Structure 1
Amino acid sequence: MSTTQSERLRELLEPLVTSQGLDLEEIAVDSVGRRRVLSVVVDSDTGADLDQIADVSRALSAKLDETDAMGEGEYTLEVGTPGAERALTEHRHYVRATGRLVRFQLHEGGEIVARILDVDDDGLDVEVPGVKGRKATARRLAFADIDRARVQVEFNRKDNDVNKDMKEEEEA
């Protein structure tokens, strides 16, 4: 049974990423002209700051230098976090996206945009925003019904809880 280079790299690098308190989300090797780029995406329940990214990048670079996992040619190592509009593919991704607006593609062919309220082992409770003055509606989505899910960027989010907390802090 053959394994791909990405699978071998995952086996090699995942323990290092985990030891830094992060999850290895994605790994990809791409050719850019004559050079290769190894892209590693890491995350955690609390996110990853620049210091953590730098630490894990140094650890991965050292490990790669002591092995021949990338072969003899030159390559560039890029370590980062998932983008703002990340795809949700694992249970932990849905948990981390609680409170966020997500576009769901459903197996039955439909699409909804809703805010994740709660996540359990079987699925999620979401709130579908009301349109044209209508009230938001609650809905239950089973993981089995979801084909794809992607976090949506919100520029003008009206978060009453955050605004309320900020107001209380200012008054104190």
Structure 2
Amino acid sequence: MSTTQSERLRALFEPLVDKAGLELEEVTLSASGRRRQLLVVVDSEEGVQLDAVAEISRSLSQALDASDVMGEAEYVLEVTSPGTDRPLTEPRHFRRNTGRLVKLALKERGELIARIMAVDEAGLDLEVPGVKGRKPKPARADFAEIAKARVEVEFTRRDGAPGDAVGDGDTDFDTEPDDSDSDIDETTEEA
């Protein structure tokens, strides 16, 4: 996608996404056979509900129909919320995942798997899980030293963990970690 088209799409979408109380995370246009696929990723501090995705999808589709930004070629519009495999790149991404286990690639220290306990302007306060009965240890990672970061999906989780949606002890896995991680929250429309 050319920078010009990317900028035009962002300029068209951002006011609509902001008005809906969401944040525009990503706009990607790719070829899919004879059609093009336009992927729009939205998020918010509270996560994104399916109804909000459907509503913003309709709004973006109407805006695209009224503009010439996509030209005459066919395209498929897909609006979704970020999944758990999304890289954490902005401080707000880390804040939204406080309490979650993350895998960090640190420039000087290598790889670290730890739970985000707190986020400030400079970086993360972490808790490195104990191994073989040892107690967890506190750690710190500044944003400047983080090369890559992703949420680690947990199938077994201690009861009452921060961000734990289940937390009642009746299950061994976190079935709904939070709305912002749902890969189900997506709507696809064809133009």
For normalisation by structure 2, the TM-score amounts to 0.82
Give me the whole-angstrom Cα distance separating, in 1, the residues matched to 2:38 and 2:165.
Answer: 41
- How far did 1:36 drift? 0.2
CA shift at 1:91, angstroms?
A: 1.1
Distance 2:55 2:35 in 1: 24
2:121 paired residue number: 121
The equivalent residue for 2:33 is: 33
Q: What does residue 14 of structure 2 align with?
A: 14
> How far did 1:154 drift?
0.8
Distance (Å, rounded) in 1 between the aligned partners of 2:115 and 2:165? 18
Larger displacement relative to structure 2 (23-32 or 7-16): 7-16
- String of CA shifts for 1:11-52, please: whole Å, max 9, x gaps: 110110111010111110010111100000011111111110
Q: Which runs of 5+ in 1 are unaligned?
A: 168-172
Larger Rg: 1
Runs of 4+ in 1 over 6 A off after TM superposition: none
The one-letter code matched in structure 2 to 1:13 is F
1:7 Cα deviation from its structure 2 partner = 2.3
Q: Which residue of 1 aligns with 2:172?
A: none
Moved more, 4-13 or 99-108: 4-13
Alignment partner of 1:139 is 2:135: no
Match of 1:74 in 2: 74
Which residue is 1:158 aligned to? 158
Kindly indicate which of the two structures has a greater share of residues assigned to helix: 1
Rate the CA distance shift 1:20–1:143 in 2: closer, same or farther, 3 A.
Answer: same
Deviation, structure 1 residue 135: 1.1
Tell me the C-alpha RMSD between the 2 structures: 1.9
Give the number of equivalent residue pairs: 166
Q: What amino acid is the match of 1:23?
A: E
- Structure 2 unaligned runs (5+)? 170-191
| 3-state SS of paired residue (2:13) | helix
Asked whether the 8 Å contact 2:37–2:77 carries over to 1, the reply is yes
- Structure 2 residue identity aligned to 1:88: L
1:157 offset after TM fit, Å? 1.2
Partners in 2 of 1:165 and 1:158 — Cα distance? 8
Deviation at 1:109, TM superposition (A): 5.5
Q: Confirm or deny that 1:92 pairs with 2:92.
A: yes
Partners of 2:166 and 2:18 in 1: CA distance = 36
Report the residue type matching 1:95 in the other structure.
R
Q: 1:61 to 1:136 in 2, by over 3 A?
A: same
Deviations 1:97-138 (A, max 9, x none): 100110000112600010000000011100010111211100
User: Which amino acid letter does the alignment assign opposite residue 64 of structure 2?
Assistant: L
Compared CA separation, residues 71 and 154, structure 1 to 2 (3 A): same
Instruction: Name 1:170's counterpart in structure 2.
Output: none
Write the distance in 2 (CA, Å) between the matches of 1:156 and 1:28. Answer: 34
The aligned counterpart of 2:149 is 149
Structure 2 match to 1:54: 54
1:165 Cα offset (Å): 7.0
